[in-house]
Amino acid sequence: MKRRPLLLTALAAPALAQARRRIVYPQHDAGRTPIWNYLQQVLQLAIERSGVAYELVESREFMTQARVVRELADASGRLDLGWTMTSIEREAQLLPVRVPLDRGLIGWRIAFVRSADAQRWAGVGSLDDLRRYVAVQGHDWPDTEILRTNGLPVREGNRYEALLDMLRLGRADYFPRALFEIDDEAASGLAQDLVIEPHVLLRYPAASYLFVRPDQPALAADLQRGLEAAVADGSLKRLFDKRFGDLLQRHQVAKRVQLRLNNPLLPPATPLDKPAYWLVMGG
């Protein structure tokens, strides 16, 4: 696939006179188009608010999360920035831009289940109840370790489509997904014979960040400044509300049984003390 340049310029006039610096970011994931589009819009907003002009170019090939992290950790890697859920390990390898792109929504999880089993989930009222069931997750996803640390059985797979097949074939009982992912995935046709479980909400503190190669601290600083400005002027929240504003009502999260999980991967520097960065129930 040819690289598709995305020209992003700052709003401030002085930045327009600067030579645009070329930055490579991960190729479009065709299976996650809506959230990918949102993250691309957040990236554009961060650059506009930073006051620095960049030319952003997609990588030539698709990369898994693990591959993205490897490329970013390597000074000679093919990527300059990417986005993924933060963890202690990832922040040790890469430069995090510590403003949650999704306001922490990646830690709000509901699940795909087999349609024939949906009603039995009404009896799940505690983590002990949930431990009778087996989740399925990607082998390189941080969520896998989070679930296991909380005593929840997990089976692993390599590809998203394979995870859905494992659930369909009865090798697992549920497939937790971020609240902002599941509707588009349900509509994609890949989740045939599966339904969105209507009773349970898993919640754990988590954040998706922009991550930058360690040899590019100036880029990380520009993105940090841009996202902080977008939080301060309300533009990041407006973009979030436009894309995800009806999710909480549509999935009736206030009526669901909320099961709180610990996140052992959450770095100590996570800005939990900045309420403007995070989504809270009812807001």
Residue 269 lies in a domain: no
Mean per-residue pLDDT for 49-65?
Answer: 88
Q: Do 111 and 225 belong together in one domain? A: no
Grade residue 18 by pLDDT with cuts at 50, 70 and 90. low
Q: Do 113 and 58 belong together in one domain? A: no
Q: Do 141 and 166 belong together in one domain? A: yes
Burial of 168 (0-12, 13-18, 19+ CB in 10 A): middle
Q: Do 120 and 75 belong together in one domain? A: no
Domain endpoint, select from 174, 203, 232: 203
Q: Do 49 and 112 belong together in one domain? A: no
> What integer pLDDT is reported at residue 280 of this predicted model?
82
Q: Do 93 and 212 belong together in one domain? A: yes
Note the pTM of the prediction, 2 decimals.
0.80
Grade residue 8 by pLDDT with cuts at 50, 70 and 90. very low
Q: Do 193 and 140 belong together in one domain? A: yes
Per-residue model confidence as pLDDT tens digits over 135-174: 999 988 888 999 999 999 999 998 889 999 999 999 999 9
Token readout for 212 is: 């930058």
How far is it, in rounded angstroms, from Cα 211 to Cα 220? 8
Per-residue model confidence as pLDDT tens digits over 224-263: 999 999 999 999 999 999 988 888 889 998 899 999 999 9
What does the H/E/C string look like for the chain?
Answer: CCCCEEEECCCCHHHHCCCCEEEEECCCCHHHHHHHHHHHHHHHHHHHHHCCCEEEEECCCCCCHHHHHHHHHCCCCCCCEEEEECCHHHHHHCEEECCCCCCCHHHEEEEEEEHHHHHHHHHCCCHHHHCCCCEEEECCCHHHHHHHHCCCCEEEECCHHHHHHHHHCCCCCEEEEEHHHHHHHHHCCCCCCEEECCCEEEECCCCEEEEECCCCHHHHHHHHHHHHHHHHCCHHHHHHHHHHCCHHHHCCHHHCEEEECCCCCCCCCCCCCCHHHCCCCCC
Q: Do 155 and 34 belong together in one domain? A: no
Q: For residue 20, which of 10, 12, 34 has the smallest C-alpha distance?
A: 10
Q: Do 69 and 119 belong together in one domain? A: no
Residue 63 lies in a domain: yes
Flag whether pLDDT at 2 surpasses 80: no
Flag whether pLDDT at 99 surpasses 90: yes
Q: Do 57 and 98 belong together in one domain? A: yes
The CATH number given to whatever domain includes residue 140 is: 3.40.190.10
**Total domain count for the chain?**
2
